[in-house]
Chain A
C-alpha cells in the first residue's frame, strides 16, 4: 500500500488516504494476500481447558491428500516458549494444554479444506485434568506455572500459587473513617475485541533461511522479536510487514499465526497463508479480563470523599500476556478521576484455565470505572446529593495527587468535561404507542410499550495515555527528502483503522510545508520500532517522531545546501517510574505520562416487564488535548462508545469449566445499527504541553466511560442495583 496525502495539516478534517481503496474493495487486508505456489496452514487446537498430552500421532495426517507438512512442538527449531512480555506460552503445546483452543499442531496443504481435514486426522491422546476455572480460589490451587514466569520483575513478591501480579496501593491513612459509607460488589464478564478482520497473514520464505511475514498486527517490531527466537533466526532474518488490518482494539498485541505460518513456510519452502475463521478467532486471541471488584467509599456528610477501599480480582486465564500492566492500571484508576486523600487498593490477577486475557481498549480502566461510578451514584443517593454535583465536588484537577502519589502536572479538565456533558440537552421523551423499531428490544417487543420506563445516567472516567511504570516507550520515524521536493516517510506505527497513517501525513505536511508526501509501507525492514498501536499512544508518539524527523531532515538539507536527505529520529515521551512494590506509590515524578478523561450522559428506556433495553441518546464531552483531525476524533469517540455499550448490554464470552460456549457472531452479540443511538460529542481542547501539538490520545476514554454511563441510565430507569455487566433481561426484571 502506498498512500498520498491530498489535503490538510494538523487540526483540519482530512479524508482517509485509504478511504477510497477501502470502499472499492481494492485495499489488501491480511486475509486477501496471495502468492505463487501458496499453501494454506491450519492449526489443530485443544478441545480441553486443561489436560496432559500423552501421545501425538501425525502419521494419518501426513498421508492425507494435498498435505505438505504436519508439525508439532518437536519441529520448533528455536525457543519453545514465547510471550508478549513473559515467555510462558508454548508455540505448540508440549506435554500439557492450559486453555480451550490452545495450539497443538500445524498442517500445511494445497487447499484450506484439505488442511482442516488433515488436522482432524492427527491423533492426540489427552488425559483431562480438573480445570482451574474459578479465579476466586486460584491462589489455593496447584500452580499452572510452577516456574512463576512473572515474578522477579520488580513486582510485589506474592508467594501464593497462580499469582500473575498483585499490587497494593496504600495512600494516606487507609483506615480513615467518614460520616457515611457505601459499598458494593461488581462484576464484569469477558469481553471480546471482535475485530471483523480475522487473524491472518502470509509467510514467504526468502530463499536464504529468512522469512517475510505479511500480517495484521499492532506492533511490528515486538512481533519480530518474538518470532525470530522461536524460529532460531536473528531478528534481521525476520521481516514483519503490515498487511491491511481489519480492526485491532488490543486483540492483535499478542501473536496469533505469525510463528505458526513461518514454521510451515520454512519447513515447506513455500509461501503459507493462514486465515482463522470466526470460531477460531474467538479462541485465537486474548480477551478483556473479567473482573470482580469489592469497593467501599467513605465520605463526609457534605459529599467529600475521605477514603476509597477496593479489592480487584482479574482472571488472566492461562498465560500472562499483558496482564501485569492491566493489574496495575485497574489499581491506578480504581478511585476514578476524583481527589481522594486516603485509599487502600488491592489488585490481583491470577492464572486459571479460562481463556487468556490481555489488552482490550480501556485496559483495566473499564472494569474499575463500572465499579467506581456505580459507587458514586450510590453515594449520591445515600447523601441525597445530585450525582453530577457530587462528581464536581470531588473532581480531580491539576495540582492534586492521585492515589499512587503522582502530582498531576498536565491538563486534566475533569470538572470541565462533567459540566459540558451535563449541559448537553437531552431529547424529550417519545410518545407511545410508536413504531416497534423504537421500543426497547425493537421489533421483538410485542407490547405497546406499557412497561417502558426512562432513565438518565451519568458517568466520568479517566485513563493513562502511553506506556507507564518506567517502560522505555519510544517511536522511530525516518524522513527522506528528494531533490524534486517530494518526501517519503517511514514509520512502523500500525494503521489499524484508527487513522494514524493520516496523522503521520498531516504532521509531515505541516512540518515540511509540502503536499508531496508519501507514506512508505509499514515494515521492520526500513525503520526502527514505533511501539504498539495501543494505550491511546500512537497519535502522540508518531506525531512526535515524525515531527522531529521532519525538522531534522529540513535542517540537514539546509546544512548540505540541497540534494537528497535521509534521517531517522527517535521520540520518547517524558520518562515514567516504577511503582513501589510494597506501597504502590510512584518512585519518581510520575508513573503515568498523562491522563485523559471523559464524561458521558445517557438516556435509556427499559421495558421493565420484558427486561429489554433501548439506549435513546448519548452525549459526551472528552478531554482530547487537541484534535489533529476532528472527524477522526469523533469517529473514535462514537466507535469507542459503541464498544462500551456492547459490554453494558450484550457482549460476553461465556464459558463452562473453561470451555467457550458462544464462539460465533450468532451467540456473541455486538451492537448493530438498531442498538446504537445518536452520540453527541463535545471535544474539550486543553492542549497538553508535553504532547506534540498538544494532542492526547482519544481511543480509550469513550470505552472506559460508556459501560458505566449506560448502566447508570438503566439503574435510573429500573431502580435496581445492576452490579454485573453485561446486564441481562433477567437482571432488569429481577429474576
Chain B
C-alpha cells in the first residue's frame, strides 16, 4: 500500500507492505536510520519518536497508522549544525557509550523537558524508565538531563 507522511517536516511517500512498522519504514525505506531497532517490541525505547508531538515507540506503530501524520525523529532535533540542548548535554555529560539507546533517550528527554522544564530527580527517573541503557548505569544520563534542563 502507498502511504504519505511528514518526517522532520519533509513530505514523504512510500510503498509499504501492510505488516511493516513505522520503525522499519523510517529506517529501511525513508533513510532515517537514527531510530534504533533494539527490541522491536516496545520494551527498550530505542526507537522513540514523536508522532504528532506524542512520544511513541516507532516499532509499535504500523507504518499505515502514520499515513497522513507528522513524525519527528532524532535526526530532526538539531537545527543545521546547531545541536539540540539535549544532544549537547548528552555529549558533555559523558552520557553516551555505545550510543544505541541514545537516539531514543534524546527524543524522550526532549519530550520530557518540553512538558516539564524543571523535572525533579524522580520525575526524570519515571519519564525515562521506558528507555533501557545497558552501558552507562544511567548516572551520566541523569546528569545530562539536569544539564539540559538548566540550559
Which of chain B's residues have a CB closer than 8 A to the CB of A195?
A: 98, 100, 134
Within 8 A of A (CB), among B34-50: 34-41, 43-44, 46
Which of chain A's residues have a CB closer than 8 A to the CB of B61?
A: none
Q: Are A437 and B122 interface neighbours, CB within 8 A?
A: yes
Nearest residue, chain A, Cβ from B125: A673
Assembly CA distance A670 to B74 (angstroms): 24
Which of chain B's residues have a CB closer than 8 A to the CB of A2?
A: none
Partner of B73, one of A25, A635, A640: A25
Q: Are B19 and A32 interface neighbours, CB within 8 A?
A: no
Q: Are A246 and B138 interface neighbours, CB within 8 A?
A: no
Q: Are A641 and B137 interface neighbours, CB within 8 A?
A: yes
Q: Are B139 and A197 interface neighbours, CB within 8 A?
A: no
Which of chain B's residues have a CB closer than 8 A to the CB of A249?
A: 134
Interface residues on B, range: 35 or more
Is there a chain B Cβ closer than 8 Å to A448's Cβ?
no
Assembly CA distance A576 to B88 (angstroms): 45
Is there a chain B Cβ closer than 8 Å to A631's Cβ?
yes
Q: Are B78 and A673 interface neighbours, CB within 8 A?
A: no
Chain A: interface residue total (CB-CB under 8 A):
62
Partner of B136, one of A20, A23, A277, A639: A639
Q: Are B100 and A672 interface neighbours, CB within 8 A?
A: no
Q: Are A196 and B36 interface neighbours, CB within 8 A?
A: yes
- Against B, the Cβ 8 Å flags (1 = close, 0 = not) of A77-103 are 000000000000000000000000000
Is there a chain B Cβ closer than 8 Å to A247's Cβ?
yes
- Against B, the Cβ 8 Å flags (1 = close, 0 = not) of A624-642 are 0000000110110011111
Q: How far is the CB of A200 from chain B (nearest CB, A)?
A: 9
| Given known A24-B75, A25-B34, contact A197–B98 (CB-CB < 8 A) | yes
Within 8 A of B (CB), among A262-293: 275, 277-278
Which of chain A's residues have a CB closer than 8 A to the CB of B6?
A: none
Nearest residue, chain B, Cβ from A706: B137
| Given known A24-B83, A673-B129, contact A245–B98 (CB-CB < 8 A) | yes
Assembly CA distance A7 to B11 (angstroms): 39
Within 8 A of A (CB), among B88-126: 90-92, 94, 96-103, 106, 122, 124-126
Assembly CA distance A583 to B74 (angstroms): 58
Partner of B98, one of A32, A437, A496, A643: A496
Q: Which of A277, A664, A676 has the most CB of B within 10 A?
A: A676
Is there a chain B Cβ closer than 8 Å to A471's Cβ?
no
Q: Are A197 and B36 interface neighbours, CB within 8 A?
A: yes
A interface residues (Cβ-Cβ under 8 A, vs B): 13, 15-16, 18-20, 22-29, 31-32, 34, 111, 113, 193-198, 244-249, 275, 277-278, 435, 437-438, 496-499, 631-632, 634-635, 638-643, 664-666, 670-674, 676, 678-679
For the complex of A and B, the 5 pairs showing the least CB-CB separation, nearest first, are: A25-B34, A497-B98, A22-B99, A246-B100, A642-B137
B interface residues (Cβ-Cβ under 8 A, vs A): 17, 19, 27-28, 32-41, 43-44, 46, 73-75, 77-78, 83, 86-87, 90-92, 94, 96-103, 106, 122, 124-126, 128-142
Q: Would you mind naming 7 contact pairs between A and B with Cβ atoms under 8 Å apart?
A: A20-B87, A25-B33, A26-B75, A435-B122, A639-B137, A664-B41, A672-B138
